[in-house]
Amino acid sequence: MKISARNTLPGTVRKIELGTVNAEVTLELAPNLTVVAIITHDAVAGLKLKVGDRAYAVIKASSVMIGVD
């Protein structure tokens, strides 16, 4: 896989929740560390995603914000 984004995080699909139009996909990167993506139903089908599959979270952002209490 070659892509322009530099932030690719490998993980395992732990949950796929189908909504009306989109799906919420939870990817476990490490124990107790997850990232959630909202993608279309077509993307879930096109990628043939299933719980337990290995996948990548690909993050491409022009800015990243950090906050503290």
Q: Which domain holds residue 30?
A: 7-59
Does 66 fall in a domain?
no
Contact 38, 21 (CB under 8 A): no
pLDDT tens for 15-49 read 999 999 999 999 999 999 999 999 999 999 999 99
Q: Which helix (H) or strand (E) holds 9?
A: strand 7-18
Does 69 fall in a domain?
no
pLDDT at 34: 96
- Counted domains in the chain: 1
Give just the sign of the alpha carbon dihedral 55, 50, 60, 67.
negative
Cα gap 26→19, rounded to integer Å: 14
Does 27 fall in a domain?
yes
Classify 48 as helix, strand or coil. coil
Q: What pTM was computed for the model?
A: 0.84
Q: What is the CATH number of the domain that holds 18?
A: 2.40.50.100
